[in-house]
Amino acid sequence: MNIVLGISGGIAAYKTPELVRRLRERGADVQIVMTASAEEFVTPTSLQAVSGRPIRSNLWDKEAEASMSHIELARWADLVLIAPATAELMARLAGGGAPDLLTTLCLATEAPIAIAPAMNRVMWANPAVQANRETLEERGIQILGPDVGSQACGETGAGRMLEPDVIADAVCSPEFAGAVADGILAGRTVLVTAGPTREPIDPVRYITNRSSGKMGYAIASAAHALGARVILISGPVSLPEPRGTDVVYVETAEEMQAATQDRVADADIFIAAAAVSDYRPAETSAQKIKKTRDTITLELVRSPDILASVAALQNAPFTVGFAAETENVRKYALGKLENKNLDMIVANRVGSDCGFDYDDNAAEVLWKGGEKVFDKMPKSELAAGIVDVIAVRFFETRGDEMQPTLSIVSIKE
């Protein structure tokens, strides 16, 4: 688990080197982000030594990716844990303020957030602090503690930060993972293919297509956002790894087929968004083909149909294909739904003005007896809508006693 550990300026910050060690003992990678006042209580040098990573505190860090530390960290985190969380920090989170790196990344992250409040007992009991606690809880932020006992100020009561061991046990426990990942696909595995494949002609040339991977990566993120474990099998693309997914990189259709076969037994849902080369060179030249003739002929052979082979499995997962067509989109997509024996197909038009590489897309999701039409919108939003429909149909057709209450989309049957 990638944990961004935010440290705000309270006396309990002196316990954070210990907390880092306890988190790392439990297998977490810890990236520390400090507020300016935290540095009054604990040194960045000690924290860097125990975390093994440079400390981040500057919103305007020129070393960070595109000088956007907050976005880079927000994407990297599987969990943002703030310990200690002072009354001031809680107020900033509740109010949506973002004056520094820590609060800005909290606004920018899709990862769950947990805070371990620490403050004087009278401050903790203050109605303003309690109102902020309630607001944060209502927004799904996990509040760990505080503990009751003697405080650094000499008083006794509720407001002590939980001990590092207790915090580490809490955030690394399966119950915590379950509590934060309580989307409707929690406990389910979704296998996604994305991007193009490359079929080598010789060591310097290949056959490929215009897929950027954006649609498939957005599908993977949307499935993760619904709580699924996501395995993403990706062709060569230039996109950052979607947060919380296991990415397997492949190059050719045959490699994508093998990677899919190896992992499909774990999958409840398979979504084939990749643009797999239908044909590959019959032979790959070991050396660069020289320019000796006016014309050359390349013999192509069919690549394995990954989607069809998954749908044909005896215990096939809920299987969803994409159909990328330049004409007769609906007709050809319905043909693929039927011929490949799919549970669902996502039909989209591709061409010079749409589909491949664009940030927006439109699609019709089709299945036997139903459909849902999505007008043009950003691929991230489209993916969220498509995965909602898939989840509803998955539970309708394969659901069991674990089926959750579904109220996410209305489907035109």
405-411 CB contacts, 8 Å cutoff, 24+ apart = 406/184, 408/184, 409/372, 409/385, 411/370, 411/372
Q: How far apart are the first and last CA of the chain?
A: 41
Kindly state the smallest distance separating residue 63's Cβ from ligand PMT, in Å: 31
- Distance of closest approach, residue 177 Cβ to ligand PMT, in angstroms: 30
Residue among 236 and 304 whose Cβ is closer to ligand PMT = 304
In the bound complex, what is the minimum distance in angstroms from residue 372's beta carbon to ligand PMT? Answer: 15
The CA–CA distances, whole Å, from 210 to 356, 376, 382 equal: 6, 19, 19
Query: Based on CB atoms, which residue is closest to ligand PMT, 75 or 349?
Result: 349
Please give the torsion angle defined by the CA atoms of residues 376, 377, 380 and 386, in that order, rounded to the nearest 10 degrees.
-50
Mapping DSSP to helix (H, G, I), strand (E, B) and coil, where does residue 383 land?
Answer: helix
Q: Is 82 helix (H, G, I), strand (E, B) or coil?
A: strand
Angle of CA points 382, 386, 387, to nearest 5°: 120
Radius of gyration (C-alpha) of the chain in whole angstroms: 25
Contacts of 383 (CB under 8 A, 6+ apart): 215, 218, 219, 221, 222
CA distance 115 to 89: 10
- Residues 6+ away with beta carbon under 8 Å from 287: 202, 203
Minimal distance in Å, beta carbon 266 to ligand PMT?
A: 18
Closest to 82 (Cα-Cα) out of 173, 177, 162: 162
CB of 13 to ligand PMT, least distance (A): 44
**Alpha-helix residue ranges (DSSP H) falling in 139-184:** 164-171, 174-180
Shortest separation between residue 140's beta carbon and ligand PMT, angstroms: 30
Question: Distances in Å between the alpha carbon of 405 and those of 318, 395, 402?
Answer: 19, 10, 10
For this structure, is 106 an active site residue?
no
Residue number, 103 or 257, with CB nearest to ligand PMT? 257
Distance CA 255, CA 303 (A): 11
In contact, 303 and 253? CB cutoff 8 Å: yes
* Residue 40: partners with Cβ closer than 8 Å, 6 or more residues away: 9
- Of 85 and 273, which CB lies nearer to ligand PMT in the complex structure? 273
Q: How far apart are CA 14 and CA 155, in angstroms?
A: 18
Smallest gap from residue 216 Cβ to ligand PMT (A)? 6
Contacts with ligand PMT, residue ranges (CB under 6 A):
193, 211-216, 253, 272-276, 278, 303-307, 321-324, 336, 348, 350, 355-357
Q: Which is nearer to ligand PMT, 16 or 260 (CB)?
A: 260
Q: Is the Cβ of residue 88 or residue 305 nearer to ligand PMT in the bound state?
A: 305
Cβ-proximal residues to 298 (8 Å cutoff; 6+ apart), any chain: 201, 281
Closer CB to ligand PMT, 51 or 193, in the complex: 193
Q: What are the φ and ψ backbone dihedral angles of 101, each rounded to 5 degrees?
A: -60, -45
- Given 106, 153, 172, 354, the catalytic residue: 153
CB of 219 to ligand PMT, least distance (A): 9
Residues marked active site are found at 153
